Structure 1
Amino acid sequence: MTTDPGPLSEAIADAPAPTEFPRVPAQTRVPADAVRNVRVGRHGLYDARRTLMAYEVLFHSGAKDQGDRATSQVIASTFGTFGVDRIAGSRPVFIHLTRAFLTGIIPIPVEPAGVVIEISATMMMDAELLAGVEQLRSDGYRLALIEYRGQSEASGLLDLVDYVKIDVPAHPGWQLAELAAQVTGRGRDLIAGGIEDAPTFDRARELGFGLFQGPLLEKPKVLERRTLTPTQLVCVRLLRELADPDLDIVRLEPTVGSDPGLALRLLRTANSAASGTSGQVSSLRQALVIIGPRRLRSWVVLILIEGPSSASPADGLWKVLARAGTCRLLAPQEAGDLAFTVGLLSGAAELLGASPRTVAEAAGVTGDVRDALVSGLGGAGVALHAVLAHERDDDEGVAASGMSLHAVSHAYLESLSESLRLVEEISGAADE
């Protein structure tokens, strides 16, 4: 069933009495491009004992685009959709970046911990690229030179990187030995690519290679997950607000909350082990503070490059924000931020067609959030129960929560009005 925000706006203006608040049907149509299946490739790297040590993440799509957009999709999928902990556990993640990321034209939205940036030796080497790579190293990122065949123009990078990857089958024995000696002589660790059989593995090991990758050890695997696509207009609005040097980042919570896809990415990022807060984040507001304006700006830029995505948040997503806002108003004051996040995750689960438990586990939130979302425990859980009953037009369900129908209706109307105002404001940005 489709719900048109227009008549609801009129109902807000004309509501004659506290007991005659409009009810919103629970079923909401979501744009086809707001929910999609995301895929990312994963290929293990093993040591000489054939123990899994790290993963390389790969672009996976039917498209042939391997440029900035493809790289943005890999980063977004690895760190935002799946969460790096779920892809690699505590192991490092190797990820290939294009020149725009390496030189700082496009900001990298993830922290250095657990990340190894791959740099192609076939890339044009100049002062701008070397300066960018030096800055990444200074920022704490580990670096790997890949596709190395002894190119003289890439020699300047040998002193900056931590790893050098060579495709072993592509070189005759004498040449491979020379390359290995050159790299180990500079104190860099060697990665052997293209390991297809035991003799190739043994030869690389004897030459001093420390990490190995190829069909003998593991074939690339594709991971897939259903996700909400962040909306372009919300990101454009956020970029405008983030341009304010005096911005208090917690003021962005309603805007970010109006886009469940973006909110879920930020919760996963803030809750990752790499950020040092695994399992400690209990609200979207707390996640925003942890991520900070600079990293948030990087995520927004990445999403705009990643596109296309849903053009407007108006179709259905406004209801999620109304639910979250009502939960905040109904919960005890000290649990308001937690309740907002619980309502947001509940709406995201509905849009995704997933169970609340699955969404809570994917977001990596604290036990308090999970218990409220899944079992209705605590002040936030009771508030969510009441709001969901109100949306179903279930007066007995509202009463069972211990809250009055009037209080729940009044809070929902207030939040609905605010969510519609915000959606209208964001959508209006497209015409500016």
Structure 2
Amino acid sequence: MPAQSRVPADAVRNVRVGRQGLYDARRRLTAYEVLFHSGESARESTGSGAEVVGERATSQVIASTFGTFGVDRIAGSRPVFIGFTRAFLTGIIPVPVEPAGVVVEIPANMMVDAELLAGVAQLRENGYRVAIVDYRGQPEYSALLDLVDYVKIDLAAHPARRLAELATQVVERGRALIATGIEDESTLERALSLGFGLFQGPLLEKPSVLERRTLTPTQLVCSRLLGELSEDDLDIVRLEPVIGSDPGLALRLLRTANSAASGASRQISSLRQALVIIGPRRLRSWVVLILLEGPSAASPADGLWKVLARACACRGLVRPADADLAFTVGLLSGAADLLGASPLLVAEAAGVTSEVRDALVSGVGGAGVALTAVLAHENDDDAGVGASGLAPYDVSHAYLEALSESLRLVEEITAGGGGG
């Protein structure tokens, strides 16, 4: 394996997401709620106010759940309850994942108005299930109760009589009750007697933290993509090299397309296939989401361009029918170097097909041979290039062209900023 590319310290980071189970009356694990978790306090002043911190925290949770980990790793086949900010709930920003396996939570203290009601109604029409968090019987929530599937009530926040009143209100509207704050057996028994069907709290499970090392998508690439995605005559496949210049974004989109939450049950054989599955609308939502996440690597320089060069060189050494597959194999190989992870782990995390995995790990097939030759060329290993079966001149020529292409693209991105 070649020496790892040098990248900025903020290009690779450890991502954490909190998780807590929801249980049924027989204490069987039924679903998970994902929670914001950071090595830094979410209350830390950023100079932008609490609203921006909330947007960023929510964006990090969504991106981590569906892009970094994949919903299958967080919840298996169980539903995931996840909070969304007002911009997502009202449709200003499209929800970036398909409805399957997702319950959209309306956070506590959300202002209920015609805009929110219309947005929630549209989410339900699109197939999403919706939950109210920390319901306290607010009069303005009356219309909202008719639009949701679940209502969460914190048992510790209400005296017995008030709790019974709230539970009756929800049951009479035909909504499922979720009890939070279950700390002891007596609280659980009280919830059962009031008609609650799902339960959450330290008695059943304390919140836990999942952690994974990931590549940080770059702000400049995402800004450029947002401009490209605003064009009416967009051909989404032409964005492949732009996205390929950012391994962090590419890995996230591969996982998203392959995630159970995206509705794609088949494995992915190329980045281009992933882009077609995701589509322009959802891709635009992902780009906005990444920009909302907050500070990340500022540019794709200092090594990330080498990943794109490797991917382009692999593509240039295979027949046209295998070009997309070879590009993806080179991209995943470079991502593994940047992460300091084995290619097998990266392939499994991305959810690619066995053909991609075998090429990446074992050098099988045309794409595998191309990758073997390109890696040898990067290490100035002429014997290794020859052993691949490809002519050293062809490999050198393909790599020089790929290098030129990657440098030109990076220059366009860094010079163009957010331009389209």
Is TM > 0.5 for Structure 1 vs Structure 2? yes
- The runs of at least 4 aligned residues of structure 1 exceeding 4 Å deviation read none
Q: Quick one: distance in 1 between partners of 2:287 and 2:108?
A: 29
CA contact (8 A) 2:17 2:61 kept: yes
Task: Give 2:353's aligned residue.
Answer: 366
CA contact (8 A) 1:107 1:298 kept: yes
How far off its partner does 1:27 sit? Answer: 4.1
Q: Quick one: distance in 2 between partners of 1:150 and 1:197?
A: 24
Q: Quick one: distance in 1 between partners of 2:27 and 2:262?
A: 29
Task: Give 1:428's aligned residue.
Answer: 415
Task: Give 1:17's aligned residue.
Answer: none
How far off its partner does 1:368 sit? Answer: 0.8
Task: Give 1:309's aligned residue.
Answer: 296
TM-score (normalised: structure 2): 0.95
Aligned pair partner of 1:235 in 222, 226, 233: 222
Q: Quick one: distance in 1 between partners of 2:234 and 2:42?
A: 40
Task: Give 2:21's aligned residue.
Answer: 44
Q: Partner letter of residue 8 of structure 2? A: P
Q: How does 1:309-348 map to 2 (within 5 A)?
A: 309-348=296-335
Task: Give 1:33's aligned residue.
Answer: 10
Q: How does 1:100-115 map to 2 (within 5 A)?
A: 100-115=87-102
Q: Quick one: distance in 2 between partners of 1:243 and 1:381?
A: 36
1:141/1:431 Cα in 2 relative to 1: closer, same or farther (>3 Å)?
Answer: closer
Provide, for residues 130-169 of structure 1, a one-character-per-residue CA deviation record: whole Å limited to 9, x for no partner.
Answer: 1211121122111001111111111111100000000112
Task: Give 2:42's aligned residue.
Answer: 64
Q: Quick one: distance in 2 between partners of 1:278 and 1:55?
A: 21
> 1:365 aligns to what SS in structure 2?
coil
Q: Quick one: distance in 2 between partners of 1:396 and 1:273?
A: 44
How far off its partner does 1:280 sit? Answer: 2.1
Task: Give 1:185's aligned residue.
Answer: 172
Q: Quick one: distance in 1 between partners of 2:76 and 2:266?
A: 14
Q: Partner letter of residue 352 of structure 2? A: V
How far off its partner does 1:60 sit? Answer: 0.7
> 2:31 aligns to what SS in structure 1?
strand
Task: Give 2:69's aligned residue.
Answer: 82
Q: Quick one: distance in 1 between partners of 2:5 and 2:95?
A: 35
Give 5+ residue unaligned stretches, structure 2: 44-52
CA contact (8 A) 2:78 2:101 kept: yes
Q: Quick one: distance in 1 between partners of 2:396 and 2:259?
A: 37
Task: Give 2:131's aligned residue.
Answer: 144
Provide, for residues 300-348 of structure 1, a one-character-per-residue CA deviation record: whole Å limited to 9, x for no partner.
Answer: 1111111211111021111000000111111232221111101000000
1:353 correspondence with 2:328: no
Q: Partner letter of residue 349 of structure 2? A: A
Q: Quick one: distance in 1 between partners of 2:308 and 2:292?
A: 25
Q: How does 1:255-334 map to 2 (within 5 A)?
A: 255-334=242-321
Q: Quick one: distance in 2 between partners of 1:427 and 1:128?
A: 38
> 2:417 aligns to what SS in structure 1?
helix
Aligned pair partner of 2:195 in 208, 212, 215: 208
CA contact (8 A) 2:81 2:105 kept: yes
TM-score (normalised: structure 1): 0.92
Task: Give 1:196's aligned residue.
Answer: 183
Q: Partner letter of residue 230 of structure 1? A: P
Q: Quick one: distance in 1 between partners of 2:4 and 2:182?
A: 52
Q: Quick one: distance in 2 between partners of 1:82 and 1:88?
A: 10
> 1:67 aligns to what SS in structure 2?
helix
How far off its partner does 1:393 sit? Answer: 0.6
How far off its partner does 1:67 sit? Answer: 1.1
1:27/1:43 Cα in 2 relative to 1: closer, same or farther (>3 Å)?
Answer: closer
CA contact (8 A) 1:233 1:311 kept: yes
Q: Partner letter of residue 35 of structure 2? A: L
CA contact (8 A) 2:226 2:418 kept: no
> 1:278 aligns to what SS in structure 2?
coil
Give 5+ residue unaligned stretches, structure 1: 1-24
Task: Give 1:19's aligned residue.
Answer: none
CA contact (8 A) 2:82 2:105 kept: yes
Task: Give 2:32's aligned residue.
Answer: 55
Q: Quick one: distance in 2 between partners of 1:149 and 1:99?
A: 19
Q: Over the residues paired in the alignment, what is the CA RMSD in angstroms?
A: 1.3
CA contact (8 A) 1:279 1:364 kept: no
Identity %: 79
Provide, for residues 152-207 of structure 1, a one-character-per-residue CA deviation record: whole Å limited to 9, x for no partner.
Answer: 11111110000000011222222222211111111000001010111111111121
Q: Quick one: distance in 1 between partners of 2:325 and 2:257?
A: 15
Provide, for residues 342-366 of structure 1, a one-character-per-residue CA deviation record: whole Å limited to 9, x for no partner.
Answer: 1000000000111101111110111
Provide, for residues 369-411 of structure 1, a one-character-per-residue CA deviation record: whole Å limited to 9, x for no partner.
Answer: 1111111111111111111011011111111111111010011
Q: Partner letter of residue 142 of structure 2? A: S
How far off its partner does 1:431 sit? Answer: 8.9
Q: Quick one: distance in 2 between partners of 1:353 and 1:121?
A: 40
Q: Quick one: distance in 2 between partners of 1:239 and 1:170?
A: 43
Q: Quick one: distance in 2 between partners of 1:92 and 1:276?
A: 13
Q: Quick one: distance in 2 between partners of 1:246 and 1:410?
A: 34
